[in-house]
Amino acid sequence: MASMEELRQGVCENLPEVNEIRDEALRGKVIEAWAFALSQTEFTRIDQIKGSGVPDSPALKDGTQAEHLRGVARMAQGLADGLEAVHGEIGIDRDLLWACALCHDVGKPFEFSPENQARWQNDVGASGFPSIRHSVYGVHVALTVGLPEAVAHTAGAHSAEGELIKRSLENTLVNSADHAYWGAMERAGQLETEGE
């Protein structure tokens, strides 16, 4: 079993963009969130988790959850760059945007865990399937490690769950980047298709 320090080290190796977060405390909590999320599963690194939106959706041909997170985080910053280039400062918190994007799927170790998947499938009537989606579990992780509520909000509502509420500014950028990531990668032929 990997120690928490080994898990944190792996997170830093998988997500070099974490160093873009200037606030040291926020950066530390982003790393802690992923290390804690991994520690609750059989995964020890983010790059051990297949690169797909949900466990049974088409996966990246070349890449893992680490590349998904990195891509979405950079794309969200790119959206902010484009808006600010034309409109100037519109109130986007760049540090928070990095943290929200890098943590938007922090619940995926739990949802993608083969042990959890097998346990839930064994008695769907008792657990539901999946018992708790990565978005909802991500809220638990974010709040447990003391990340700001805004990061927990993005984890919980970057996905379809967010259709029930109004997303924050940073979450709106993350949601758009996440959606664009999968759409563009599909059109670019970068996702595995049935039968391959």
* String marking each residue 36-75 x if it binds Fe ion according to CB under 5 A: ----------------------------------------
Contact status: 111 vs Fe ion (CB under 5 A): no
List C-alpha distances in Å: 46 to 5, 33, 52, 88, 184. Answer: 15, 12, 12, 35, 22
**Number of Cα atoms under 13 Å in the Cβ half of residue 115:** 6
Is residue 170 near Fe ion by the rule CB under 5 A?
Answer: no
Is there a contact between 44 and 177 (Cβ–Cβ < 8 Å)?
A: no
- Which of 120, 135 has the CB closer to Fe ion? 135
**Helix axis angle, 24-39 to 4-14, nearest 10°:** 110
Q: How far is the CB of 65 from Fe ion (least distance, A)?
A: 8
Answer yes or no whether residue 178 interacts with Fe ion by CB under 5 A.
Answer: yes
Closest CB to Fe ion among residues 6, 50: 50
Question: Rounded to the nearest whole angstrom, what is the least distance from the CB of residue 186 to Fe ion in the complex?
Answer: 14
117 φ/ψ sector (left φ>0, alpha ψ -120 to 50, else beta): alpha
User: Is 105 an interacting residue with respect to Fe ion (CB under 5 A)?
Assistant: yes
* Contact (CB, 8 A) for 108 and 65: yes
Identify the residue whose tokens are 């160093």.
19
Q: Pick the piece of the chain touching Fe ion (CB under 5 A) from 3-11, 85-93, 141-149, 172-180.
A: 172-180
Residues contributing to the site for Fe ion (CB under 5 A): 105, 159, 178
